[in-house]
Structure 1
Amino acid sequence: MEYKFTVFTPTYNRAGLLTELYESLKIQTYKNFEWLIIDDGSVDNTEETVKEFQKENILKINYIKKENGGKQRAYNLAVENAGGELFICLDSDDKYIPEGLEIILRYWKEYEKRDDIAGMGYLSVYPDGKIIGKKFPEDVIISNQFDIYYKYQVSGDKGLMFRTEILKEYKFPEIDGEKFITEAVVYNRISRKYNILYINKEIEIKQYHEGGLTSGYNRLLLNNPKGSALYHNERNFFKMSFRDKILNNAVYYKFSRAAGENIRKIFLDSKAVFYLAVALPIGEYMFRRAGKDTGR
């Protein structure tokens, strides 16, 4: 690989936010990285803004514009075009502390030869410095992405870095007619084979703006029901309590029905038929309630 890191930013009509991110990348103490921007069909002045960055010739900036198709398609395109050994997704309204990449690399060097570790996780904070969600249970811990959230009850967004070669094996599903699927689908698939190195270091600074994916999240899931159903169906591969299995399959049923699937197909596709059968009445209630909430 030509670079140690590819820092990937998916963006859509966020030219103003890109400038703040650019300024944070310019002052990274570790310099061997490229900034890969995938413009998901912006109609503002994103392209002109990036050209101004490129004129400064401070960072290696690779800019690719595509027609609007959602973050998962932008992510797949970024992985295909990444020139870095390690891959980081940094949204347009996020940034790293100046020593961010340097700290990641410092910890990573101790574990990079372990084939069972796919990447790293670290803490995210709000602009005021408050940690988002809960810390990891130990200052340095090796686990997988599912267990970190389910078994250890860690919560909130966390920064993540992956080996690029592993992400090439785990592309995002691209579902016709849908423009969103949770990143946890890919992370859970990776979790079935690989661990992650997690550290309690505050590296990523996140901002949540109106118009971002986080705002109106429940509606976003219902507007992309096939991907949402896929996520909950594949969670059945992991060990959960009886209660959580039932709730998970009720939600799988809800989204499957929202996607227009009939009950026969929902059961044929199911990874946990017994739990789905038990959950069906709850799922039907959830589906009808979701229809009322969204006006469908």
Structure 2
Amino acid sequence: MEQPLVSIITPCYNSADFITATLNSVLEQSYQNWELIVIDDQSKDNTCELVEAFSKQQPKIRLIKLEKNGGVANARNVGLEAANGKYIAFLDSDDIWLGEKLTNQVTYMEEKSLLMSFFAYHRINEEGEIISGKIGVPDSVNYKKLLWHNVIIFSTSMVLKSAIGDLRFKKTGHEDWIFWLDLFKKCGNGYGINQPKVQYRIRQGSVSANKLKAAGYTWKILRENEKIGLIKSMYLFSKYAVATVWKRLK
């Protein structure tokens, strides 16, 4: 049986320190029917030169250079427009996939006819050292559950392209969380695979590392994006805070 094409979308900006490891993790996948679309958001370092060196050796890697900096949401939207695959897999430019990630995920989704899935993961630091135990994921999540806490790390995810349709990323904080909320409003559940097939990098100054900034974005999503009332937002925010603390203890 022919393997379905997976379109991998990787936005990048000043990613020279990490992009080589990220691209190598794709090349080392056992699954071979993929295309990798790297969207450079006007990097000031040599990110583009590094990606171009890979693309000369592997034509399945394509670099799109944006004419102006538009942020990660815009870069991912450009990637979605360029994607040709049955499935969309997101991979941030500083994260790493383990070798069976695509094989396991495509097999799981094909066998069960799923629209969306995501993996467990480990956190790594800027030097690539593992700094957490396995961060597990639930068997499934829907819109209501995702309001409590975003359990989906973007680089662990894969989505049926037809399920995404014309849905696009919004240019706002926590755009990944909003994307999942909007997707699950359309198509129901996402399904977790509780195997750590991704290494998620924590970088100094990132939103994930800045807890106050992340908390502010969360409150804004509940109140402004999802239009949830004050009392319920306070309840959901408290669950988010507990879940965030618990995850950091793992």
Which residue number corresponds to residue 126 of structure 1? 123
Alpha-carbon spacing, 1:69–1:146, altered in 2? closer, same or farther (3 Å): farther
Structure 1 residue matching 2:115: 3-state secondary structure: strand
Kindly indicate whether the alpha-carbon contact (under 8 Å) linking 1:135 and 1:154 is maintained by their aligned counterparts in 2.
no
Separation (CA, whole Å) in 2 of partners of 1:218 and 1:105? 36
Alpha-carbon spacing, 1:17–1:95, altered in 2? closer, same or farther (3 Å): same
TM-score (norm. length: structure 2): 0.78
Report the Cα offset of residue 188 of structure 1. Answer: 0.8
Cα-to-partner distance string for 1:239-276 (whole Å, 9 max, x where unaligned)? x9x95434569xxxxxxxxxxxxxxxxxxxxxxxxxxx
Percent pairwise identity: 23
Separation (CA, whole Å) in 1 of partners of 2:197 and 2:42? 29
Cα-to-partner distance string for 1:49-88 (whole Å, 9 max, x where unaligned)? 111112222x511111112111111111111111211111
Matches for 1:1-296 after TM superposition, within 5 Å:
4-57=5-58, 60-66=60-66, 67-112=68-113, 117-127=114-124, 128=130, 130-132=133-135, 134-136=136-138, 141-147=139-145, 150=148, 155=151, 157=153, 159-174=156-171, 180-194=173-187, 195-216=189-210, 218-219=212-213, 229=220, 232-236=223-227, 243-246=231-234
Alpha-carbon spacing, 1:154–1:47, altered in 2? closer, same or farther (3 Å): closer
Report the Cα offset of residue 210 of structure 1. Answer: 2.2
Separation (CA, whole Å) in 1 of partners of 2:65 and 2:211? 25
Cα-to-partner distance string for 1:195-221 (whole Å, 9 max, x where unaligned)? 212221211111112243423353478
Alpha-carbon spacing, 1:211–1:92, altered in 2? closer, same or farther (3 Å): farther
Q: How many residues align?
A: 227
Alpha-carbon spacing, 1:22–1:155, altered in 2? closer, same or farther (3 Å): closer
Structure 2 residue matching 1:126: 3-state secondary structure: strand
Which residue number corresponds to residue 254 of structure 1? none
Separation (CA, whole Å) in 1 of partners of 2:173 and 2:150? 24
Report the Cα offset of residue 125 of structure 1. Answer: 1.2
**Higher mean C-alpha deviation, range 123-132 or range 192-201:** 123-132
Report the Cα offset of residue 20 of structure 1. Answer: 0.6
Separation (CA, whole Å) in 2 of partners of 1:10 and 1:39? 6
Give 5+ residue unaligned stretches, structure 2. 125-129, 238-250
Kindly indicate whether the alpha-carbon contact (under 8 Å) linking 1:79 and 1:168 is maintained by their aligned counterparts in 2.
no
Structure 2 residue matching 1:6: 3-state secondary structure: strand
Cα-to-partner distance string for 1:98-128 (whole Å, 9 max, x where unaligned)? 011000012111222xxxx531121111243
Separation (CA, whole Å) in 2 of partners of 1:118 and 1:236? 26
Alpha-carbon spacing, 1:165–1:156, altered in 2? closer, same or farther (3 Å): closer
Give 5+ residue unaligned stretches, structure 1. 250-296
Separation (CA, whole Å) in 2 of partners of 1:18 and 1:71? 15
Kindly indicate whether the alpha-carbon contact (under 8 Å) linking 2:169 and 2:175 is maintained by their aligned counterparts in 1.
no
Separation (CA, whole Å) in 2 of partners of 1:197 and 1:248? 22
Separation (CA, whole Å) in 1 of partners of 2:95 and 2:153? 12
Cα-to-partner distance string for 1:121-163 (whole Å, 9 max, x where unaligned)? 211112436223x432xxxx3442541563xx78574621111
Rg: which structure is higher? 1
Separation (CA, whole Å) in 1 of partners of 2:163 and 2:212? 30
Separation (CA, whole Å) in 1 of partners of 2:223 and 2:51? 38
**Where do 4+ consecutive residues of structure 1 move more than 3 Å?**
153-158, 217-222, 227-237, 242-249
Alpha-carbon spacing, 1:206–1:61, altered in 2? closer, same or farther (3 Å): same
Alpha-carbon spacing, 1:37–1:246, altered in 2? closer, same or farther (3 Å): same
TM-score (norm. length: structure 1): 0.67
